[in-house]
Amino acid sequence: MKLKQLAEDFRVEEINELSLSKDKKGYKAYLLEKRGIETFSLISYLSRKNRIPIKEFGIAGLKDRHAITRQYFTIPSKYNIGTLHEKGFDMTFLGYTDKRLKLGDLKGNKFEIIARDIKKGELEGIIQKSKSIEQIGVPNYFDSQRFGSVIGNEFIARCLIKQDYEKAVKIYLTAYSKFESSKVKQEKRLILQNWSNISKLRIKNRSLAVVIDEYKKSNKWIEAYKKMPSNIKEIVISAYQSYLWNECIKRVLIKTINKKKLYSIKYSLGSLIFYKNLDENEIKNIPQTFKTISEEINPNNFELNIVNRVLQKEGITLEEFNIKKQTGNFFKVHERNILLKPSSFSMSQPTIDELNDRGKNNRFKIKLSFALPKGSYATMITKRLFNQ
């Protein structure tokens, strides 16, 4: 099975209830449709082109690069955006609103997904799974998209918990993904090669240079860490917390579901556990929510047992999560639903996949439509249906 062979194979639209007015108010609201561009990259471009500070843009969520997405954003009314249409995006001015959009200010997202290159022998199993997905749902894991900051399975936040600030900074300054520019990769390789003489380096990339300059000045890795971009620091904290939550939910399912019904599917940080079906007792035994891990979690007995097992494997304790005094960052406690049930779910009849069939009439495509609450991943639905 193949996803996102074409940008139009994956469509996402925010479900939002902005209060709009024709009368001028504090903020302008826009509808943004983009193709092949990650949200933050586009906002950075609009900021530079229109001379609007990036902090003034209000967005409710970050949307995938490899998709056609529709989402909302706000800017203070005193600013103007010159061009509403360029290659890769279109914007529509909707009106005025009293409030700036913030991350999380949405009800959910609607998805239209075309899965391709499905073999004929796989169709019956997919159809059977689709019949129960609204009733029994899927595990509400964080998927690989959440972990773009994690390179080589190294978590900066775990280094902070263990007070290994040099390693935390080293990961930031030297680890890179295939999506970074060649110039950034080159400088990060240079930093790694000269780590023992880092104070002598001159780096052009501003976000890297300020961290190195702080270490030159203070000779303290914790002070160098504090010079990392604030959005990056927030991302690395949430990435580790999300990974730990996934590990907890895997143990919840092992404790509450007949093991013969469980199977695993790979993702970027290992594997996730899914279930084939659930009976009434299992549905009752699975808690509705599970808390994210923080030193302030205050878990019940069931949660505490799960959390202790996960943290023991990580070699850390709950008390060590209290990192705010040293780093300025902290782990927030919130409850997340363990099971994810799509609404308005529909699946088309299989049709011949024109991209992969090559005239053999043995490769099919299927269109999925559904809505999910905010913070949930559509790829959990596709993982359940297509086992990948």
| Residues recognised as catalytic | 64
Q: What string of H, E and C letters represents the secondary structure of the chain?
A: CECCCCHHHEEEEEECCCCCECCCCCEEEEEEEEECCCHHHHHHHHHHHHCCCHHHCEECCCCCCCCEEEEEEEEECCCCCCCCEECCEEEEEEEEECCCCCCCCCCEEEEEEEEEEEEHHHHHHHHHHHHHHHHHCEECCCCHHHHCCCECCECHHHHHHCCCHHHHHHHHHHCCCCCCCHHHHHHHHHHHHCHHHHHHCCCCCHHHHHHHHHHHHHCCHHHHHHCCCHHHHHHHHHHHHHHHHHHHHHHHHHHHCCHHHEEEEEECCEEEEEECCCCHHHHHHCCCEEECCCCCCCCCHHHHHHHHHHHHHHCCCHHHHCCHHHHCCCCCCCEEECEECCEEEEECCCEECCCCCCCCCCEEEEEEEEEEECCCCHHHHHHHHHCC
Going by C-alpha positions, the residue among 165, 207, 217, 167 that lies closest to residue 187 is 207
Going by C-alpha positions, the residue among 211, 180, 182 that lies closest to residue 198 is 211
Look up tokens 């999560």; give the residue: 321
Going by C-alpha positions, the residue among 196, 172, 141 that lies closest to residue 379 is 141
Q: Give residue 306's Cα distance to chain centre.
A: 24
Going by C-alpha positions, the residue among 182, 222, 192 that lies closest to residue 329 is 222
